Structure 1
């Protein structure tokens, strides 16, 4: 790299992982010029399209991400599909390095008989968060539904299903989401986890807030409140785990609320089969009762069939393979060691919480010079913000170490104008950070007209139109 220009880096994905990587680059002391590529016309990734609309508090993180994108060293280039609109070979001509932070939005499968008849959490989340790449409408004819998975995504789905459309109308949902949810017929929502309360992955605040809705009564069977020695130790070692267990215990002994919608949290019930009729319509979910034994959760052989009409699976997300990049098919991540992309899988880092998922010999394999990865597409869809920041810091540190040793791309045109000329030559209608401010103002104006903070725009064409300034924002 020439000494008289800044380090040029392309970051793919404008969710938290990509923005934290950009922030780490800008804080490194190295003079940098960053282009943040985003497939959607609007930034923020999972924060905009993966957080339930009735949790605006969580979306407050956007304020901190705003501060990063406001910095002059970074430029947002939205509505660009890297791999189709521009390729990795294109990026090599204009940057010294590239960081892939494309996240995870696909649903993992549920490998039980009838599992193919379940509904992936990501599809429902994409619908109610107005992601244009997912369904525009949602039919919910069943009065009793099941949600498999005791994490925050499962809790979000259960809560949205248990609420009325009018309760959600005060949020940022657009008209198409409200029109579908107001016809929701679910009266019973059953959430199932194969392990006990101490192993649930809820956050305490979200779990406690379930009871704030006047239409929802949370029901926990007192028999599900059980702990073995390892569970008690987990409570002792984690304040969050202890809080979750305490909240669940309070639900188990609470007086009936007589709310119209019941939200049941079931523990020690492992899904074993989804029942369907001759037409493939779901008629029930069969679970096996589990128990603690020698520090593990094992089946007891006792089966229960729950008469539900739909089954949602919230058993984890998986990443979609970016074009032009090596892929670990077993773990659904970009193979890497410390964020350096390997020429082949599996990954050296492994998947957090999955024993044996790392390749101990990965560090001996060849890496792709100038190509790095961070976030969920690097390590799998696990971990909180702290993990994401740690991943970003490590990947950036390795990138800078390589640059110092002359490892990276050899760009033909590293000017900021060169990429823009490329986009114009291909007729790509990209959006910018300034354009986001235009779209943001439009969404806020739509919301203000209905007494809301914001009303989200779903259609890509409309997002691009307001971002470009072609449409006038109504005051």
Structure 2
């Protein structure tokens, strides 16, 4: 399923900046930008990541099944006589007014091959003549796009093929399965794009027997070394959290054998989920619905599951075999507790760290008091925003690097 832009489009181009596939046009600098009533999404290259919907200030970007038929037709018609554009065609595509470093090749180390690191690498290739060394502790590129996307959203993972192309560029030295410790010397600049994979904790008694989103998502997405730390026990589970990750967990837990068979899952993961007996999931929000962090499209998708229940303004106080105790005095009987209240970054060796925010202190990507050190992605801005938003984030970091080099 792709997205479409309706006639309410304000044409401020926020969506253009975050689209990971360069599929929203006309963009600034192109003919017809600002002259028409709308921007348009190319349905042939849209990967259904929802980044445009997340950032649209007027709620004009919507999944096609929630869009008016005339809006869907108008978006498709704009591209009827145009070849699909690949925003990462590094040999042919150049955005206007790119600034480049002079003085010949420079050496840059990018730590982390998730979306932020890959977009940072892409920006370096397009804007500079730098030689880029790209390292990651895992054996494959992708990070969140590979190991964080729900298995029932396969289109979103199509961006991985783009990241693989970036890693194969002649000016990129891709070093998978590499610890970055001790590698910083000998480089003109280092971009740390290490993400924020550590789940936040509720801080309640009995939480050690719960399953954090970090572990459950890594397990069902087959992240190397990941194991399921709990036994799945039906018929009811509680998921504390009201973001898209919490809704992802609920959909996966409530999927029947037919739906599971359509997902890209390891056989033993599929069997374990099918045998769990979980038929009801209570999604618990500690604040009100007006502060919920999920997107409208994610909520609409969950509405197809009759076993999903949303509850708000209830704070957990204890988890035990009896279930989840709340500050209201009520206990929700359940076999499993999952926590999905967000992620936080970990300190990066040699860099300052803001423990309260879980980020490396920075100014537009430049690490405070560390010349030549930069950050991008969640370790820069906190664990918020989807895959596409990392594109604009990485661009800002690289432009800051160019301005300070």
How does the TM-score come out when normalised to structure 1? 0.60
Provide the residue aligned with 1:338 in structure 2. Answer: 364
- Is 2:125 aligned against 1:26? yes
Is the CA contact (8 Å cut-off) linking 1:319 and 1:376 kept in structure 2? Answer: yes
Q: Secondary structure at the match of 2:249?
A: helix
Provide the residue aligned with 1:308 in structure 2. Answer: 334
> Given the alignment, which residue of 303, 310, 313 partners 1:269?
313
**1:327-368 CA distances to partner (integer Å, 9 max, x unpaired)?**
2223222222221223xxxxxxxxxxxxxxxxxxxxxxxx11
Structure 1 gaps of 5+ residues are: 218-261, 277-281, 289-301, 343-366, 404-475
Superposed displacement of residue 118, structure 1 = 2.8
Take 1:80 and 1:48, find their aligned partners in 2: how far apart are those partners? 18
Is the CA contact (8 Å cut-off) linking 2:210 and 2:230 kept in structure 1? Answer: no
> Given the alignment, which residue of 383, 390, 393 partners 2:392?
390
After superposition, where does 1:134-153 map in structure 2 within 5 Å? 134-135=226-227, 139-153=231-245
Take 1:389 and 1:173, find their aligned partners in 2: how far apart are those partners? 28
After superposition, where does 1:33-432 map in structure 2 within 5 Å? 33-83=131-181, 87=182, 90-93=183-186, 95-135=187-227, 139-212=231-304, 216-217=305-306, 262-266=307-311, 268-276=312-320, 282-288=321-327, 302-342=328-368, 367-385=369-387, 387-403=389-405
Superposed displacement of residue 66, structure 1 = 4.3
Is the CA contact (8 Å cut-off) linking 1:166 and 1:182 kept in structure 2? Answer: no
Is the CA contact (8 Å cut-off) linking 1:138 and 1:181 kept in structure 2? Answer: no
Q: Secondary structure at the match of 2:370?
A: strand
Take 1:137 and 1:285, find their aligned partners in 2: how far apart are those partners? 18
Is the CA contact (8 Å cut-off) linking 1:106 and 1:318 kept in structure 2? Answer: yes
Change (3 A) 1:394 1:284: same
Provide the residue aligned with 1:15 in structure 2. Answer: 114
**1:386-427 CA distances to partner (integer Å, 9 max, x unpaired)?**
542332122212212222xxxxxxxxxxxxxxxxxxxxxxxx
Take 1:62 and 1:138, find their aligned partners in 2: how far apart are those partners? 30
Higher mean alpha-carbon deviation, 190-199 vs 16-25, is at: 190-199
Change (3 A) 1:114 1:24: same
Q: Which of structures 1 and 2 has the bigger CA Rg?
A: 1
Superposed displacement of residue 4, structure 1 = 5.7
**1:406-451 CA distances to partner (integer Å, 9 max, x unpaired)?**
xxxxxxxxxxxxxxxxxxxxxxxxxxxxxxxxxxxxxxxxxxxxxx
Higher mean alpha-carbon deviation, 64-73 vs 387-396, is at: 64-73
Change (3 A) 1:205 1:134: same
Structure 2 gaps of 5+ residues are: 1-100
Q: Secondary structure at the match of 1:54?
A: coil
Q: Secondary structure at the match of 1:92?
A: coil
Take 1:153 and 1:275, find their aligned partners in 2: how far apart are those partners? 21
Is the CA contact (8 Å cut-off) linking 2:237 and 2:281 kept in structure 1? Answer: yes
Q: RCO higher in 1 or 2 (8 Å CA, sep ≥ 6)?
A: 1
Change (3 A) 1:138 1:166: farther
Q: Secondary structure at the match of 2:315?
A: strand
Higher mean alpha-carbon deviation, 121-130 vs 68-77, is at: 68-77
Change (3 A) 1:386 1:170: closer
Provide the residue aligned with 1:458 in structure 2. Answer: none
Change (3 A) 1:166 1:379: same
Superposed displacement of residue 203, structure 1 = 2.3
Change (3 A) 1:3 1:25: closer
Change (3 A) 1:3 1:98: same
Larger proportion of helix = 1
Superposed displacement of residue 100, structure 1 = 0.3
Provide the residue aligned with 1:445 in structure 2. Answer: none
Is the CA contact (8 Å cut-off) linking 1:136 and 1:176 kept in structure 2? Answer: no
Change (3 A) 1:133 1:318: farther
Is the CA contact (8 Å cut-off) linking 2:141 and 2:163 kept in structure 1? Answer: no
Take 1:209 and 1:116, find their aligned partners in 2: how far apart are those partners? 31
Q: Secondary structure at the match of 1:264?
A: strand
Q: CA RMSD in A?
A: 2.3
Superposed displacement of residue 35, structure 1 = 1.6
Take 1:201 and 1:141, find their aligned partners in 2: how far apart are those partners? 27
